[in-house]
C-alpha cells in the first residue's frame, strides 16, 4: 500500500504538502514544532531499530534482522516526511 499508510518499503512515498491556506503565523509555528517532535521521535526509533537489526544479523538471526531493517527503513521514511513537512511550515 503506497502513500502515507501501510508498508512503503519498496515504493517511493510521495511527500504531502500541508494545507496552509489562511493559516496564521502562530499556527504555522505550532505545527512546525509538532512536526519537529514527530521527526525527532521517528529518527530515534529508526536508530534503535537499526542497531537491533545489526545485532540480530551478527548473532545469526537473519530473519529477525530483515524484519527490523524493514521497520527501521519505514521509520527513516517517516522522519524524512516529517522533516519535509516541517520545512514547509517554516517558509
Note the pTM of the prediction, 2 decimals.
0.72
Cell numbers standing for residue 45: 526509533
Give the list of residues 6+ apart from residue 54 with CB closer than 8 angstroms, or none: 65
Cα 51 from Cα 41, distance rounded (Å): 16
Cα 63 from Cα 55, distance rounded (Å): 12
pLDDT of residue 12: 55
pLDDT of residue 14: 67
pLDDT of residue 28: 87
Q: Could you tell me if 77 and 10 are in contact, meaning their C-beta atoms sit under 8 angstroms apart?
A: no
> What are the average pLDDT values for consecutive 10-residue runs of the chain, which has 91 residues?
46 68 86 92 95 95 95 93 88 71
Cα 30 from Cα 32, distance rounded (Å): 5
Amino acid at each position: 500500500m503506497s502513500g502515507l499508510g501501510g508498508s512503503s518499503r519498496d515504493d517511493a512515498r510521495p511527500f504531502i504538502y500541508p494545507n496552509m491556506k489562511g493559516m496564521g503565523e502562530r499556527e504555522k509555528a505550532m505545527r512546525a514544532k509538532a512536526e519537529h517532535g514527530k521527526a525527532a521521535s521517528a529518527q530515534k526509533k529508526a536508530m534503535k531499530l537499526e542497531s537491533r537489526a545489526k545485532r540480530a544479523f551478527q548473532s545469526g538471526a537473519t530473519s529477525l534482522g530483515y524484519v527490523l531493517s524493514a521497520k527501521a527503513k519505514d521509520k527513516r521514511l517517516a522522519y524524512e516526511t516529517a522533516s519535509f513537512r516541517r520545512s514547509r511550515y517554516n517558509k
